[in-house]
Each structure stands twice: as structure tokens, then as C-alpha cells.
């Protein structure tokens, strides 16, 4: 009942639309007044680390120098993940964290529109031939307290920016997993093992699927999702995230 009470009424939403039209647009990250809507201010723009080539052909890790067509990083050379290609827009750091948190906890769903555009651009090579976008699901108990899944929000925004259609509920979380936040890599992998499944009655056989999430840290969650999709016969599994954490110095 509390949710119904806190949801903005139609009048409030209409009011906000009017206010948005009258007040100057604000920076997506810091709230500073900017010249156009859905943009960053100059300072935030300069502070964000956008990934750009040259990068690892598999995981998109930026290289300090050009390494030649198709070059892969040491991690990808050592061990192949269950997914085929991964790309991210931004390095996950204190600056991009502002955007991730705003999307996750703030009531700023309009932010997704701008981020979806960025992700559509950064993920061009894996999105162009993809059949479906599959957001990493939240467990319903968390969905209930947060009201929306930020990965789903991003997936819909990528689609709106010209990306493939979204299969919002094809991947399901079978059990509630403790928050990954404070866990180390091995514990994260254990934490999510067996946590995801394909919804009964759906088929990804022969399909090219792209997993969408907000942040990639150790990669344990997307690895587990990719494993499920491959096992179910997906022909290609890509990963596209807004931000990606790099190890210090990486």
C-alpha cells in the first residue's frame, strides 16, 4: 500500500513535465545547470572515463597502445568466458558511480534515456546483429522495494535508441542472492551459481542474445547468465554494461 501512496499521481507527473519544460536542464551526474537536456556538464564530461579503442577484441579492455586487429588481453587469452564479446561505456569509478547510483536509487528514470543512447553507441558491434536484449534480473523481493530493475530500464532505453527488442523477463532469478557488493571474486561466483534460469516456455536456441547490466565488476553475474543462455542453445552471447570496473592500474 505504501508503494501506491508514494507513486506520483498523474497530476504530479503532469506538474513535473511542466516544471521540466520551464526550468533549465541539469547535468545528469552533478545537477549543475547545462545547456541541453540529458547531458553532462563540461566538468563531469571531462571527469568520466569513456572506453575507446584500441581495446581487447573479446572483453573491450582498453589497451594503452594499438595491438593489432583482433588482439586480446591477457585475461581473455588465459580463460574464455561463457560470453563471446563484452563492451562497456565507462570505467566504473567515483564519477560514473554517480550515474549508476542515480539510476538505481534515485527516481530519475529519464536518465536511462541518455545512458541508453551511450550504450547503443558503445555496443554497436555486438548489438547490430543481435536478436534480443536480456537484462540481468533482480529477484522479485528486491524488485518490490526498488520498483524497477535498472538493467531492464537500460535495455528498454537501448532498444528505444535503435537497438534490438528486449526480452525483459526471459532470464529469471531463481533465488535471492545476498548483495554482491562486499564479496570478493570467488565468493561472488559461488554466490550466483545456479541463481538464474531461462523462463519456462522461452527459447534462445540459435539466437544472438546480449545481456544488459548497469555495472560489471568481477563479471560473476553475467558469466552465470551467459552460462545459462549458452546451455539453452544461444548462438551468440554478448555483454553490454554501462560501466565496468578495472583493477587498479589496469
Nearer to Zn ion, 29 or 171 (CB): 29
Using alpha carbons only, give the angle 246, 244, 150 rounded to the nearest 5 degrees: 150
111 is an interface residue for Zn ion by CB under 5 A: no
130 is an interface residue for Zn ion by CB under 5 A: no
Q: Please, what is the minimum distance in Å from the beta carbon of residue 96 to Zn ion?
A: 12
57 is an interface residue for Zn ion by CB under 5 A: no
CA 34 to chain centre: 25
Q: How many CB atoms lie within 10 A of CB 244?
A: 24
Instruction: Say if residues 91 and 75 touch (Cβ distance below 8 Å).
Output: no
Does 44 sit behind a cis peptide bond, omega within 30 degrees of 0 on the bond before it? no
Binding to Zn ion in span 62-91, by CB under 5 A: 73, 76
3-state secondary structure of 223: helix
Nearer to Zn ion, 15 or 250 (CB): 250
CA 243 to chain centre: 7
Q: Please, what is the minimum distance in Å from the beta carbon of residue 15 to Zn ion?
A: 25
Interface residue with Zn ion among 30, 39, 102, 114 (CB under 5 A) is 30
Q: Please, what is the minimum distance in Å from the beta carbon of residue 33 to Zn ion?
A: 10
Q: Rounded to 5 degrees, what are φ and ψ at 9?
A: -75, 170
44 is an interface residue for Zn ion by CB under 5 A: yes
32 is an interface residue for Zn ion by CB under 5 A: yes
The site for Zn ion (CB under 5 A) is made up of 27, 29-30, 32, 41, 44, 56, 58-59, 61, 73, 76
Amino acid at each position: 500500500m505504501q508503494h501506491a501512496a508514494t507513486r506520483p499521481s498523474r497530476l504530479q507527473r503532469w506538474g513535473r513535465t511542466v516544471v521540466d519544460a520551464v526550468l533549465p536542464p541539469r547535468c545528469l551526474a552533478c545537477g549543475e545547470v547545462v545547456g541541453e537536456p540529458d547531458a553532462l556538464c563540461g566538468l563531469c564530461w571531462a571527469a568520466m572515463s569513456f572506453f575507446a579503442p584500441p581495446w581487447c577484441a573479446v572483453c573491450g579492455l582498453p589497451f594503452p597502445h594499438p595491438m593489432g586487429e583482433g588482439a586480446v588481453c591477457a585475461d581473455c587469452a588465459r580463460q574464455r568466458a561463457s560470453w563471446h564479446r563484452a563492451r562497456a561505456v565507462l570505467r566504473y569509478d567515483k564519477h560514473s558511480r554517480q550515474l549508476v547510483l542515480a539510476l538505481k536509487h534515485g527516481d530519475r528514470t529519464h536518465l536511462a534515456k541518455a545512458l541508453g543512447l551511450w550504450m547503443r553507441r558503445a555496443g554497436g558491434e555486438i548489438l547490430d546483429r543481435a536478436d534480443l536484449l536480456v537484462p540481468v534480473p533482480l529477484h522479485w523481493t528486491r524488485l518490490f522495494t526498488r520498483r524497477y530493475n535498472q538493467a531492464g530500464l537500460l535495455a528498454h532505453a537501448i532498444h528505444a535508441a535503435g537497438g534490438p527488442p528486449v526480452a525483459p523477463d526471459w532470464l529469471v532469478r531463481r533465488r535471492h542472492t545476498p548483495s554482491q557488493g562486499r564479496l570478493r571474486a570467488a565468493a561472488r561466483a559461488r554466490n550466483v551459481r545456479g541463481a538464474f534460469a531461462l523462463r519456462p516456455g522461452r527459447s534462445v536456441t540459435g539466437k544472438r542474445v546480449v545481456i544488459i547490466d548497469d555495472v560489471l565488476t568481477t563479471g560473476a553475474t553475467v558469466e552465470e547468465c551467459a552460462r545459462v543462455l549458452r546451455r539453452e542453445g544461444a548462438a551468440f552471447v554478448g555483454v553490454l554494461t554501462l560501466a565496468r570496473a578495472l583493477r587498479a592500474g589496469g
